[in-house]
Amino acid sequence: MENTQSYFETWLKAQEKLFDGLIENTKRTQQLFINQQYPGFSGDAGGFSNPYSSWMSAVMKSLSEPGINNQVIKDNLSRIFGGSNAYTKLYEVWLPLMKAAQERSVNPEAYKEYIDPSKYKELIDKVFGFDSEATKLMLNQAVQFLELLSGSGQQFTAPWVNAMKESLGAFPQLAQGHPESFMNMFHSMFNAFDNTVGKVFHVPPVGRDREKLELILRCFDDLSVYAAKNTEYQHTIYITGLTAMDKVVERLAEKITSGEEIKQFDEFFDIWIDTSEQAYYKLFKTEEFAKLQGELLDTSLDVKAHFFKLMESHLSDLPIALRSEMDDLYKTVYDLKKSVKKLEKQLKENAQ
């Protein structure tokens, strides 16, 4: 009887474990696909994009798994995702305007109060591939490095300051005829010297390290110039995007005035694409934009050039071929190939 009871208990416990596991897996799946802040079940259409985005992220992650060998398919899925993401983002941007339009007439001049500029900025970022996080990260690193440098400076002066304070404290004792205070002053100054200037005698030769330091500082300098130029460039793009949105609303209003109705989001999407494309084409055609774009490229290439030099400087001691060395080799190969081909051609012509 006891064995039967323990058997049933074991079986029951196994069932409990199985159901606990199922519940746990279901919760994990839900978390994967449903944003915990998703208000979708309350009927808010604006929250619709959240599970959709989560689902797409899951799909895109799976593309990195073996199984889809075709790179063109993978790349295309990624671009389709980008396109549909932009489509959905535009929907999110436009939704408040639509809601307001349902309640009352919409004034094209006042539509901006319904549009969230941060969401629109995200949409423009997607179209033009701007990544503000990357630039922020690089600038943060630059700032940290500079703080470290200035911290080092403070460390250099601090012992001297402390030594001066101690020396000042020793003067009264000296005046009272305590000769040992001289020794204290001497020790204090010596320690200050040893902790600061004295370290110079222990550092490696200044030449290459100094070069590296200068290159690092140059890189960060170039980076800040690039960031400034990039900001100017992005600002131009964003302003044009907002101007385009103004024109979109105007076009919508004109259509309605002339008796047409905008019944489908697709129609709005087409208007937005066409109007934006025209607005940006107008910008792109200007000399100012061409010049700005050229300057932006220049500043980015400066960063790249000095960064590569820095890398070469760091790697020069390793048993690998550096880029500058390979460049020489490629030039030699090119010159030799050219000579050989010329000689072969001459031989062939002579043989004929």
The footprint of another protein on residues 194-253 (CB under 8 A) is 250, 252-253
Q: Rule CB under 8 A: which of 113-172 touch another protein?
A: 127-128
Place of tokens 């937005």: 272
Judged by CB under 8 A, the residue of 209, 266, 325, 328 near another protein is 266
Helix, strand, or coil (residue 296)? helix
Q: Rule CB under 8 A: which of 53-72 touch another protein?
A: 59, 68-70, 72
Confirm or reject binding of residue 87 to another protein (CB under 8 A): yes
Q: Rule CB under 8 A: which of 323-352 touch another protein?
A: 326-327, 330-331, 333-334, 337-338, 341
Which range, of 183-191, 218-226, 227-235, 322-330, touches another protein by CB under 8 A? 322-330
Confirm or reject binding of residue 298 to another protein (CB under 8 A): yes
Decide whether 199 or 331 has the Cβ nearer to another protein. 331
Which range, of 133-141, 197-205, 224-232, 301-309, touches another protein by CB under 8 A? 301-309
Token duo for residue 198: 């004295």
Burial grade of 341 (CB within 10 A; 0-12, 13-18, 19 or more): exposed
Which range, of 12-20, 143-151, 215-223, 285-293, touches another protein by CB under 8 A? 285-293
Token duo for residue 101: 């339009």
Decide whether 99 or 178 has the Cβ nearer to another protein. 99
Judged by CB under 8 A, the residue of 15, 107, 141, 150 near another protein is 107
Read off φ and ψ for residue 350, nearest 5 degrees.
-65, -35
Confirm or reject binding of residue 261 to another protein (CB under 8 A): yes
Q: Which residues neighbour 345 within 8 Å (Cβ) at sequence distance 6 or greater? A: none
CB of 44 to another protein, least distance (A): 11
Decide whether 18 or 301 has the Cβ nearer to another protein. 301
Contacts 24+ apart (CB under 8 A), 117-125: 117/242, 119/89, 119/92, 119/93, 120/93, 120/241, 120/242, 120/245, 121/238, 121/241, 122/89, 123/86, 123/89, 123/90, 123/93, 124/237, 124/238, 124/241
SS3 content of the chain, % helix, strand, coil (to 5): 85, 0, 15
Confirm or reject binding of residue 262 to another protein (CB under 8 A): yes
**For residues 54 and 52, what is the distance between their CA atoms, to the nearest angstrom?**
5
Decide whether 133 or 349 has the Cβ nearer to another protein. 349
